[in-house]
Amino acid sequence: MIGDIIETKQCQLKDPMDLFHSGQVVKICAPMVRYSKLAFRTLVRKYSCDLCYTPMIVAADFVRSAKARDSEFTTNKGDHPLIVQFAAKEAQVLCDAARIICPFADGIDLNCGCPQRWAMSEGYGACLINKPELVRDMVRHVRNQIDNPRFSVSIKIRIHEDLKRTVDLCQKAEATGVSWITVHGRSVEERHQPVHYDAIKIIKQSMSIPIVANGDIKTLKDAENVHHLTGADGIMVARGLLANPAMFAGYEETPLKCIQDWVDIALEHGTPFTCFHHHLMYMMERITSKQEKKVFNVLSSTSAVLDYLNDHYGV
């Protein structure tokens, strides 16, 4: 039974580090551009997700502009535990962003894994895995300047072709006081190739802080398998949760109740139509025919979507 290994109930702890010491595998919603916003985080928390990340936010913009802060970050009382992920390349800028966010979140994460060309050309994301001293410097600065000892500082990385370099990076980060490390088991060049879970296992065995496994986890069964293969303390999921936000609660495909919950939450939060619709397209991918998709995917208003859901699914 899957639930024997990975609890399908949500852990009630609100402190991220307590989650990792709870003896259960921590179930985590990944940072997803445009998608892991407050409304979606609210939904997955209803279905046994323990810890959520915001989409990646460029720290320099966040510090410089109140407008950027308002558009990039929203939260509420129930949105915990919450990790805010930043793209940064200067220690003081990351510290300034962390200080602003500290009263509203439980920790920050430094993105060292985004392989997109724009991020790498700006000195953000995955190019940081080749700058272990800079990563160490950024983590140390945040650790020294944030007074709250419960505030977590984590990093999310990709792996090197030469795994020794990845282990070295992780050990340097650990020595500086990083709280945990999320490892996406692919190199910067790899996109759809199989995930190197063996590499995550080696990293886990080389560290004493928690390690989170990420990459190609689509079901709770996958999560159990990856936990077995790697020994990871947490499992982070992106596309699997988009397709089925109830995945961590043990559902094989999105239940109608979850679709109903998304409609209610999205309307309550004033979610823009495009985002509202895109989430539904992902959620209904596995439960709709080609013909139904042709109709549903071109609907262009909230009322049309609500009518469709009501007529076809009684939602």
User: Does the annotation list 63 as a binding residue?
Assistant: no
Q: Report the C-alpha gap between 186 and 3 in whole angstroms.
A: 28
Q: Rg of the chain over CA atoms, in angstroms?
A: 19
- Check if the beta carbon of residue 85 is closer than 8 Å to that of residue 31: yes
The three state secondary structure string of 81-96 is CEEEEEECCCHHHHHH
Helix (H, G, I), strand (E, B) or coil at 191: coil
Question: What letter does residue 71 receive in the DSSP assignment?
Answer: H
User: Does the annotation list 239 as a binding residue?
Assistant: yes
- Check if the beta carbon of residue 105 is closer than 8 Å to that of residue 83: yes
- What amino acid positions are annotated as catalytic residues? 114
Closest C-alpha to 108, from 73, 170, 155, 44: 155
Handedness of CA 238, 240, 244, 250 (dihedral sign): negative
Q: How many angstroms separate the Cα of 156 from the Cα of each of 15, 86, 288?
A: 19, 10, 34
Closest C-alpha to 154, from 183, 121, 131, 133: 183
User: Does the annotation list 238 as a binding residue?
Assistant: yes
User: Does the annotation list 298 as a binding residue?
Assistant: no
User: Does the annotation list 31 as a binding residue?
Assistant: yes
Q: How many angstroms separate the Cα of 238 from the Cα of each of 32, 241, 245?
A: 7, 6, 10
User: Does the annotation list 283 as a binding residue?
Assistant: no
Binding-site residue set for FMN: 31-33, 85, 184, 238-239
Give the residue numbers of the binding site.
31-33, 85, 184, 238-239
